[in-house]
Structure 1
């Protein structure tokens, strides 16, 4: 297909010149009713914040320019079909699970999934079969799915409907995706890939294998992360064994009927940009990340880890664009370095956990930005370095699942002081965000280790989300149910 085309963008440009009088929504009427919004976003932006109409197609049932944009995206990503998603990759992940699982069905997945996956289990009533990842205790990060663990889960649960794989993880860890797909298909299971952090795999030269090339059935791709589109815009890719009409129906269960043309056009333009110039762009991203990794490791005290971790098992491959930096040897938790960089150096990092920070390197970065980060890290080491005694590292604790996420989420519950919840069954989510991987999910046993972790993360300044209580002093547990 002609990847130089951008049908949604082109239709909006044509629409802009038509001087149509709006008697439809949105009510700001091209910004005339909200001058402060125009001042913030500009006339051009507000002027194309329009409603679905025949010339611009409709995301719920595309027949013209949106359909063409989806076909172009499928071609660019090597998929059977691609859906434009305006509810973020959260909605794409949920669509994957809801398309393959219903109440009572089993799905095999790693426990270090994004909360969106477990949210989908709450919605559809599927039962998780967790493949607990191995932990790198030095770095405090969870690793990929090991093949033997996947095989064991399948042998014990041959009736599972699907396997979900994180590829890559937030830290750049990749599983043996092609082998997992082959094993899953051999046992009649769909293989779904949360590829939120892997958009660039489809366009870079020396990248880990993509979900579509590995013949996965579905993949959710955060175009707004490494692909350059506007926040909240993503793609859902499917293989030829999926019924695209049914998938569209699942999408329409939860996705808005008032899709933003700002988001849609950003997907269209960004897909064109990557299809035409992506390899060159990601060659530079790879260079910048490697340069940063080498310079940071020269400082001492930090460890910007990379492909040297590959063991062809729990770390089958590594995304070299991910700049994950372990900070424990300078005596600071990752979240502490994250806060110092923002508050004292005006540098915003993607996230900090208990042992690491992640600097997200992508198409918009410059070498001088990298050098500023390296200089700041060296200065932080000089000013704040101390003994690491007492620092906790692990970002993942193997859970004990007592009930399904759906049953526990909707069960009768009570709120208790957090220290009194040990031995109870949690009925809500608790997570540090980002990265949004639950420390606790509905249906899991609350242990002293987990409470200690939550308390420590709070003390270090992690942003903890999920519970009804905004201060995380209390947790909701299932009333009358002990673990």
Structure 2
């Protein structure tokens, strides 16, 4: 099959044409090309504010695309090897939720690893689906959750044959990939859909020697964060459909929650980024992989730090590894990831993606330069030399999988009361609590609270992790279900 000509960018070209026409605006947005908000115009510039426009005939409509947006989505589907692609302007959160809402209804089971993003649980709150957690194994050397072993997936399918779908992280935040093709094979044989979270996997569609992408593996739906490694503006994403997916129904699901005032800044950035990746992605991500591997080798020469890579692959729960992810275990110098994260920002003016109890992640993508990599390596070497502490037993985060007592939807809407965390042991949570980033829940609505969970929460707080999700902004109180 001949590929579509990827050199065009229909939405971007339509916006250039709009700019030439110098049209007088009597529509929204009310700033009228920035004239009504001079400070905004000065801050962002006329080129940006001047194309912050509303849907109009020549620019198409994201909720019901029939011209340039439709063409741009067709180009995107072709570039990513999908049957259909949707532009998403509410972030990958909305793409993940659309996947779940299009597949799971009230009372339906969905198989998923515990280390899913909070958007998955929030989708289950909306639709009434029941999460069935596939065991997530832990690498105790570095204290992170890995992927789903195929044998564990097969066991979960046997025990829950009526589940509608299985949800897969591809890859995890740390770069761990499960056997996605194998999961697709066994799930489809059982009549289940495969939903793939590729918030950190845009490059898998274009780079070489990387884990297989969701569409190449035969997945049914994939949520892809173009803004993370693909180069588009923050909050822009795409949702991909595989063979046999009813794209018209998926569009209806998207329109339940996605804004009707879609930003053309975001839409055009998706259009341009797709073109850039289609034409230059292979070359760009080869460079990204090379920079990450260089950084990994240099960091491992420092001592104390461990920048892990493909040596973690075991063909099981670590089926593959995304080498573009520069994940570094920090406890070898007696410091938590969050402590190193804060120090890099405050002392060295280096902003990395996140730090958790045991690790940091430096996100490397198409905009990075080798001199930036060298600055990061130099800062870590300095930290190890100046601030390393005596090694001690630090909490390494055995992955906690709480008991699910009721569905997230039932618990979220049930009557409850707020209690101090210390008084909640044995009770059922009515809300979510997580460290962010990466946004993986410690507790979700409907789960039983244990002493182990509270110990982990307080340790994370002590080490500077950002606790979020509860009604209480300080996360010192938790809404728990009223006992009857």
Q: Same fold (TM over 0.5)?
A: yes
Relative distance call for 1:388 and 1:422 in structure 2 (3 A) is: farther
C-alpha distance in structure 1 between counterparts of 2:135 and 2:261, whole Å: 39
1:395 shift after superposition: 6.8
Contact map agreement 2:137 2:399 (CA 8 A) in 1: no
Partners in 1 of 2:139 and 2:208 — Cα distance? 28
- Asked if 1:159 is matched to 2:153, the reply is no
5 Å-filtered alignment, 1:142-157, equals: 142-157=145-160
Task: Report the equivalent of 2:326.
Answer: 323
Partner of 2:73: 70
In the other structure, the counterpart of 1:397 is 400
2:339 is equivalent to residue 336 of structure 1: yes
User: Which of 422, 439, 446 in structure 1 is aligned with 2:425?
Assistant: 422
Measure, in 1, the Cα distance between the counterparts of 2:211 and 2:419: 45
What's the counterpart of residue 385 of structure 2? 382
How many Å apart are 1:397 and its aligned residue? 1.1
| Aligned match of 1:473 | 476
| Residue pair 1:354, 1:395 contacting (<8 A) in 2 also | no
Residue 200 of structure 2: which of 178, 197, 216 is its match?
197
Distance 1:335 1:34 in 2: 39
- 1:22 paired with 2:15, answer no
Indicate whether 1:462 and 2:465 are aligned. Answer: yes
1:276-315 map, 5 Å: 276-315=279-318
Instruction: Kindly report which structure 2 residues correspond to 1:45-60, keeping only aligned pairs within 5 A, or say none.
Output: 45-60=48-63
Alpha-carbon distance in 2 for matches of 1:155, 1:244: 29
| Secondary structure in 1 matching 2:482 | strand
SS at match of 2:300: helix
Q: Deviations over 1:35-55 (max 9, x none)?
A: 111111110100000000110
What are the residue-to-residue correspondences of 1:33-44 with 2, within 5 Å? 33-44=36-47
Q: Give the secondary-structure state (helix, strand or coil) at the position aligned to 1:424.
A: coil
Query: 1:103-122 to 2 correspondence within 5 Å?
Result: 103-122=106-125
Q: Post-superposition shift, 1:30?
A: 0.4
Q: Which runs of 5+ in 2 are unaligned?
A: none
Q: How far off is 1:262 after superposition?
A: 0.3
Alpha-carbon distance, 1:355 to partner: 0.0
In the alignment, the residues of structure 2 paired with residue 390 and residue 471 of structure 1 have an alpha-carbon distance, to the nearest angstrom, of 27
Deviation at 1:132, TM superposition (A): 2.1
SS at match of 2:72: helix
Residues 414 and 481 of structure 2 are in contact (CA less than 8 Å); yes or no, is this contact kept in structure 1? yes
Unaligned runs of 5+ in 1: none
1:129 aligned onto 2:142: no
Q: Which residue of 1 aligns with 2:256?
A: 253
Helix, strand or coil at the partner of 1:55: helix
Structure 2 Cα separation of the partners of residues 390 and 307 of structure 1 = 26
Residues of 1 paired with 2:372 and 2:400: CA distance?
A: 35
- How far apart in 2 are the matches of 1:236 and 1:444? 30
In structure 1, C-alpha distance between the alignment counterparts of 2:336 and 2:394, rounded to whole Å: 7
**1:31 matched to 2:34:** yes
Deviation of 1:287 after TM superposition, in Å, equals 0.5
Cα distance in 2, alignment partners of residues 390 and 171 from structure 1: 22
Spell out, residue by residue over 1:309-365, the C-alpha distance to the aligned partner (whole angstroms, 9 max, x if none).
000000000000000000001000000000000000000010000000000000000
> What is the CA distance between 1:294 and its match in structure 2?
0.1
* Distance (Å, rounded) in 2 between the aligned partners of 1:417 and 1:344: 35
1 CA distance for matches of 2:391 and 2:9?
52
Mapped pair 1:449 → 2:452: yes
1:179 to 176, 179, 182: 182
Deviation at 1:383, TM superposition (A): 1.2
In the alignment, structure 1 residue 364 sits paired with structure 2 residue 367? yes
2-side partners of 1:54 and 1:453: how far apart?
54
C-alpha displacement at 1:137, in angstroms? 1.4
Using the TM superposition, give the Cα deviation of residue 390 of structure 1 relative to its aligned residue in structure 2, in angstroms. 4.0
Question: In the alignment, does 2:16 pair up with 1:9?
Answer: no
* Structure 2 residue 270 is matched with structure 1 residue 229: no
189, 207, 210: which is aligned to 2:210?
207
Classify 1:266/1:71 alpha carbon distance in 2 versus 1 (closer, same or farther; 3 Å).
Answer: same
Instruction: Confirm or deny that 1:242 pairs with 2:245.
Output: yes
CA contact 1:133–1:144 (8 Å) conserved in 2:
yes
- Whole-Å separation in 2 of the counterparts to 1:69 and 1:301: 48
Asked whether the 8 Å contact 1:102–1:124 carries over to 2, the reply is yes
Quick check: 1:352 aligned with 2:359?
A: no
Secondary structure of the structure 1 residue equivalent to 2:418: strand
| 1:6 CA drift (Å) | 0.4
- Secondary structure of 1:17's counterpart equals helix
C-alpha RMSD of the superposition: 0.8
Runs in 1 of length 4+ with deviation above 4 angstroms? none
Q: How far off is 1:388 after superposition? A: 3.0
**CA-CA distance at 1:396 after TM superposition:** 3.1
Tell me, in whole angstroms, the C-alpha distance in 2 between the residues paired with 1:403 and 1:268: 42
